[in-house]
Every structure is written in structure tokens, then in C-alpha cells.
Chain A
């Protein structure tokens, strides 16, 4: 690309760069490939072959067994994730709207207090939260988990929307107010139509967080109300019976597929959410 004189040296270093990058690609892919290969093998095949050997017989039995074990928990996760994501995003949008365009005395202090929530180690709230859920009659229910995820998701959802709305020019809102538009009218007619990117970021972030949650799941649910992450952990770490690694790997794939799918389909927003939530949080 540059001068001819330096060409051989440059192409040599470029080969080295490509080699490192491709080697890293392979390394990152190994666990996924191993999981897929193992999930389609028979248990005998697993014990005779190795991680990267091609299945002697490609069989879906691992997937069938895994689905039979985890399908109820998969639906639990959906029942928990969908409402929690929608509600926490909606509240976050309204909070962000107030915190950026309708500030009042104390609202900045509140924002500061909320910001800390992004870093809160949940271990410090687990016990009181479980007492509260018990009092509300929501202990060990998926509804209880929805509540918990909404409450402890608020910090991030509010942060997303607040930081996004701060960059919208004030004049827009002021003009609308002079025309007599009210709080909700401005939100619905002006703010919301501009919010699609940040809504996507927030939905994806919350979906990944809540679907992948294990701590709240294991503490606040039991038996039939457990989310898929807890069920997967139970399956993989049971010490009774013969280990069926094909079933373990298929179950792990099932637990990982929804978020992987979201990542592949909407990767742009996923990355933006990660960096926004991380850098600004």
C-alpha cells in the first residue's frame, strides 16, 4: 500500500498480523466447535474419540434429552425475561427523559445515587430482597424474579436513556412547551420517535443480562420456577449417575442460543450497549 521500497518488509509484517488474528479466531471458536461436536456424539463416541474428532455417528439424541430436561426452565426464562426487559426499559426511558429534560432540585443527586447501582455487588442486597419477596408472597416464583430484575435493572436502563437524551437539543422541547404541549405529549410525539437506537441498545442489554443471570435465579427461585441458567448448572453439576457430556453440551447450547442469536442479528446494538454501559457507567 505504501512505497515500493518497503513493500517486502511490510507484507511480511502484514502476514504476521493476519496469522495472529486468524489464530485468535480459531482459539475463540474452539469452545463453540467442541460444544457442537460433543452435543452430536454418542456417549461411547465421546469416550473413544477426542474433543475435535468428528462424530462417528451424528445423532440428535443429546439435544432431545437435553430439551426434555430443560424445556420447562427455558420457558421460565422467557416468562421472566420478556416482561422484565419491557418494563425496565419503559421505566428507564421515562426516568431518562425526566433526568435530562425536566430536571428539578435533587434530580441530579438521584442520578448519582442511581449510577452507583450499576456497580452494586448484589450480594449486599440478596438477603433483604429475599425477605421482601417472602413478605410479598413472591418467594420462589417467576413473578418475584421479574420484580427483582426490574428493580436492579433500573440503574442501567435509566443511564442509557439519560445519556442519550442529554444530547438532544433543549430547544426542541422548549419550542414544544411554548406551543402548550405537556410532559407526555412531548415524550410521545418528539422524544420517542427519536429513540429507536437507544431502545434497541437497552432491550438487547437487558435481554442478555436477564437471560444470562444466575445469581438472582439461584437465590430467589426453586424447583419449577428456576430459569434455564440454574437448570443448566444443576444438570451439569449433578454427581449422580453416568455423565452424559453430549446432553450437557446440548443443554449449554440451548441456554446460550437465544443470546447468541440476538448477538448475531443485532450485533451492532449489542456492542454499542456494551461500550456505552461500560464506559459511561
Chain B
């Protein structure tokens, strides 16, 4: 605020200077208003029409939402999201925190190890999905490897098992994201005051106990951010499903993002697809709004 040139005399140069910031920002403001909020509104409107392959603007009220809720595939996708999201977030957090805490113990070659943990994050989910599809290939992947290595009874055919295929998505997603969560927590741990740890050690507390009782609780904000980010990744997960299972077998590994894509763009049910997109937005909002609210409040209190 303080940098606004409030008292400048209205010479043409000053006037231009006063308008320049607004002019520079104007295209982006236009883009955001139209391309973000206008388009959301547009999709919202479409979800109340009977659009199929092409948009039509015949109002049908909540009919598309009713069709969505009647659709077994939508419920499978939603249930999968709950299972996938829950497991993905929990396992990624546990692995990420564990590796971060271990790496924080003055480890030799820490930089190298960190680099290895984090490289999956540089890859596209399509590449990750392709790799894990091959690794989990029943008959040729890990399935065969462990039998070749002498574990005779080993079977791993989750990729073609409708009840277990979601776990395959979890494995690949955890592999991709856990290094990143490790990096977040490692950054957090580096910010923890070392004197607290030393004081607790003098009091005779063991190191694991100190981490459990003192250090990790102090990283609450990091936990909070990590859960937000992981939930966000989970809800948006589309490419991983496309590459690994394409939603199959049948539609047993569908996620809402995949559902939306296939109804909107392959099956010509734009109305239902838009309704599902709006519900996805609702899910994101339910997670993000409290987060942004607390973030902004925290900043204001600084």
C-alpha cells in the first residue's frame, strides 16, 4: 500500500506511471476472471443442461446430478478415491516422515540419498504409471521376479484383480510422492531449534521419544500442508489411472477425474461429466478453503 504514488501531480508521465501497474495486471485479471471463474460458472451451468456431445442450453434442473448419483460407476469412482486417497496420504506421510527423521541424523552422503528419494517427483505420472504397470505385470513383473528368486508361492496379480487394483495405484503414487514429502519434512526439521532437543536429552529423554513428543508435534503446520497437497494430488489423479489401468478391469479402478474425462469426452454425456466436475470442485473446496483461511489469518497475525 505504501508504495502507491498517491500525491503525484498529474503530469502525463505521472499519470501513465500511475496507470502502468494496472495496465500490466489487466490481461491477467481478465484471464483469471474469465478463464478461471467464468469457466467454472459455465461448467456449472452445463451441469444443469441436457448437453450430450454438444452443449445445449436446455435446462433440466438437477437431473444430471440425479443420474450421476444413480450411476454405479460414479460410486465406484468415489469409493476408490476414498480408499486411494486415504491410503496414499497415510502411507506417504509415514514414509516421508520416517525418511526425513532418519536423514536428519547427520547422515553421510545425505545429498546423494535425498536426490535418489526425490527423483520420481520429476517424472510424469504417465511415465510412473508405465513403469509400475510393467513392474506389477502379473506373470512377468515382480510376480515372476520373486518366484525366480526362490519365493515359490509368491503371487502378485493385483493389476487384474478388481478388488485390489486400487492398491496398485497407491503403490505407484506413494513411490512418486513420498520423496517430496520427505523433502518438506526435512526442511521443517532443519528449522527446529536444536537447543530444545539438547535440553530434552539432558533431561534423559531418549531420541525417539524426543522426536515423538517434541519435534514432530512442532511440525504441525508441515503436516497440515502435506495433507493438503496429497489430498489435492489424489483428487486430481487422472494420468496415473490412465497410464496404469485406464480405469480397469471394467471400471473397478476408476477415479472421479477419470470418470469425468470418459463421460465428457468419450461417451458424449457432457451434462453428467460437468456435474461430476462440479462435485470434484466441491471436494477440493472443502479441503482448500479452511486451509487458505488459516494460512491468510496466520500471515495477518505475523
Contact = CB atoms under 8 A, between A and B. Distances in A.
Interface of A: 1, 14, 17-18, 20-21, 24-25, 28-32, 34-35, 38, 46-47, 50-53, 91, 94-95, 97-99, 101-104, 107, 110, 112-117, 119-129, 131, 151-152, 154-155, 158, 170, 173-174, 177, 182-184, 208, 211-215, 218-219, 229, 232-233, 236-237, 245, 248-249, 251-252, 255-256, 259-260, 262-264, 267, 270-271, 274-275, 278-279
Interface in B252-302: 257, 260-261, 264-265, 270, 273-274, 276-278, 280-281, 284, 288, 292, 296
A231 to B, nearest CB: 10
Contact of A25 (B3, B22, B98, B116): B116
A114 B95 CA distance: 33
Contact of A30 (B128, B133, B135, B148): B135
Nearest to B142: A51
B27 to A, nearest CB: 8
A25 to B, nearest CB: 5
Nearest to B33: A113
A24 B99 contact: yes
Nearest to A1: B106
B243 interface: yes
Contacts of A107: 21, 25
Contact of B145 (A14, A52, A126, A212): A52
A95 B25 contact: yes
14 contacts: A31-B175, A47-B140, A104-B22, A113-B36, A120-B281, A121-B257, A124-B281, A127-B42, A174-B3, A208-B122, A214-B126, A215-B239, A232-B243, A278-B229
Nearest to A237: B246
Contacts of A14: 105
B232 A125 contact: no
Given A125-B43, A128-B38, A259-B123, A278 B117 contact: no
B85 interface: no
Given A35-B131, A158-B28, A214-B239, A124 B140 contact: no
Which of B28, B42, B107, B264 neighbours the largest number of chain A CB atoms within 10 Å of its CB?
B28
Given A20-B98, A95-B24, A248-B130, 15 more contacts: A24-B99, A50-B148, A51-B144, A52-B145, A102-B4, A104-B4, A121-B277, A127-B273, A128-B38, A129-B35, A154-B31, A170-B2, A215-B257, A237-B246, A275-B184
B40 interface: yes
Residue with the greatest number of chain B CB neighbours at <10 A, chosen from A101, A158, A278: A278
Interface in B53-67: 55
A119 B283 CA distance: 11
A90 to B, nearest CB: 11
B187 interface: yes
Question: What 9 A-B pairs come out closest when comparing CB atoms?
Answer: A212-B124, A102-B21, A263-B122, A214-B239, A128-B39, A125-B39, A123-B277, A128-B42, A256-B127
Contacts of A256: 122-124, 127
A225 to B, nearest CB: 16
Contacts of B24: 94-95, 97-98, 183
Contacts of B119: 28, 32, 260, 263-264
A52 B131 CA distance: 13
A214 B31 CA distance: 22
Contact of B3 (A95, A101, A113, A219): A101
A249 B116 contact: no
Contacts of B106: 1
A131 B135 CA distance: 39
A28 B236 contact: no
A123 B257 contact: yes
A117 B29 CA distance: 12
Contacts of B138: none
A232 B116 contact: no
Which residue of A21, A123, A229, A263 has the most chain B CB atoms within 10 A of its CB atom? A123
A72 to B, nearest CB: 17
A255 B25 contact: no
Contacts of B238: 214-215
Nearest to A53: B148
B2 A212 contact: no
A155 B24 CA distance: 15
B135 A31 contact: yes
B130 A236 contact: yes
Contact of A275 (B25, B187, B277, B280): B187
